[in-house]
Amino acid sequence: MVRDVINLKSKQERSEETKKNILNAAKKLFMTYGYESVTIRQIAKEAGCSHTAIYLYYKDKESLLHHLVMPLLQLLSQQMKNIIQLNEMDDWTKLKRLCSSFITFCLHHKSMYSTFMTASASRVDEEDPRLQINNVRIEIFQLLMQTLENALGLSDPRQSLAFARVLFYNLHGVISTYIDNKEPLEDLTERLSSTFDLSVEAMLLGLREIKKQGGKKDESRTNF
């Protein structure tokens, strides 16, 4: 009886170790070569197991992606919600804080940024995405868009979507610029946080000016 219990525990421990090795291997390869380029067989080789062993624990490559990125996406979403719920801030201040927090979070996890933000991503206006991770990505985008709407007093859904995309392009550009930077995050943010803030504010002021002008100029060239 005791031997059976020990053997069962040992088997469970080996199983958990294999699952962990597979996830670590997938993470390493996704970060190095990009999600789309990596195959299950490559992950199996890196993990030191057969490709059939992977299917015992994960349905497919998308299942591996889900397990790797969902915790990060949920954490980012919750951080953004916490900022939005700060009653002592006006909407303009909340929006700038939201942008700053988004940049800092993504730079903190920059080795995984492309994987958790863009791998197998759907359109931000897709109503029923197939992957659960895209539901959270869309939620994150909508949090940005709703805060932007409140800060600028937007009422046209098309303009809100276009402006929110411009906002995301700005944030994505800042993050992508420093994604390969080897400088410690604390040093980087101390050196450039004011520049990041300036970039966001300049873009937001530009959007506010377009809004004041009636927002007509962007409609003729907005077919995202």
Which CATH code is given to the segment(s) 61-221?
Answer: 1.10.357
pLDDT of residue 7: 54
Give the phi and the psi of residue 174 in degrees, each rounded to 5: -60, -50
Q: How many residues are recorded in the chain?
A: 224
The H or E element spanning position 89 is none
Q: Do domains 1-58 and 61-221 have the same CATH topology?
A: no
Digits of tens for pLDDT over the chain (224 positions)? 545 544 545 778 888 999 999 999 999 999 999 999 999 999 999 999 999 999 999 999 999 999 999 999 999 999 999 999 999 999 999 999 999 999 999 999 999 999 999 999 999 999 889 999 999 999 999 999 999 999 999 999 999 999 999 999 999 999 999 999 999 999 999 999 999 999 999 999 999 999 988 755 444 443 33
DSSP string, 5-35: HHHHHHHHHHHHHHHHHHHHHHHHHHHHH-G
Domain ranges for the chain: 1-58, 61-221
Q: Which residues contact 121 (CB under 8 A, 6 or more apart)?
A: 134, 137
Instruction: Go through 128-165 and write b for each residue having 16 or more CB atoms within 10 A of its CB, e for each that does not.
Output: ebebebbebbbebbbbbbbbbbebbebeeeebbbbbbb
pLDDT of residue 9: 52
pLDDT of residue 5: 43
pLDDT of residue 15: 87
pLDDT of residue 218: 45
Which CATH code is given to the segment(s) 1-58?
Answer: 1.10.10.60
pTM recorded for the entire structure: 0.87
The H or E element spanning position 224 is none
